[in-house]
Amino acid sequence: MCMVSRTGRHLQRYDNLGRRQVVGCIPYRFKCGSDGTISDDLEVLVISSQKGPKMMFPKGGWEIDESIEEAALRESIEEAGVLGNVEVATLNLVLHLLTVH
């Protein structure tokens, strides 16, 4: 599969408050043993950020001409170079900010 990365924001989705909509994926696979058996252990793929020394999951803008599944697949290919099956799930994350004194 050959794919050219999209550029620009003219096709980006925005919510009713003007915030750009972003889609991401958590690429994973079940670990395979040396004997070929598949275990219950997961391997998760993270990528390095171009903006600093941090690791992250592939993500990017959700465009108006694609479904959420298509956007997640496109981002996994563009940013991580991986292809797989897309499972849609909504993650609700709660962040707890800690202050160190």
pTM of the entire predicted model: 0.73
HEC string for 26-86: CCEEEEECCCCCEEEEEEECCEECCCCCCEECCEEECECCCCHHHHHHHHHHHHHCCCCCC
What radius of gyration, in Å, describes the C-alpha atoms of the chain?
A: 17
pLDDT tens profile 28-84: 999 988 898 998 899 999 999 888 889 999 999 999 999 999 999 999 999 999 999
Compute the mean pLDDT over every residue in the chain, rounded to the nearest whole number: 84
101 has a pLDDT exceeding 60: no
Give the domain ranges of the chain: 1-101
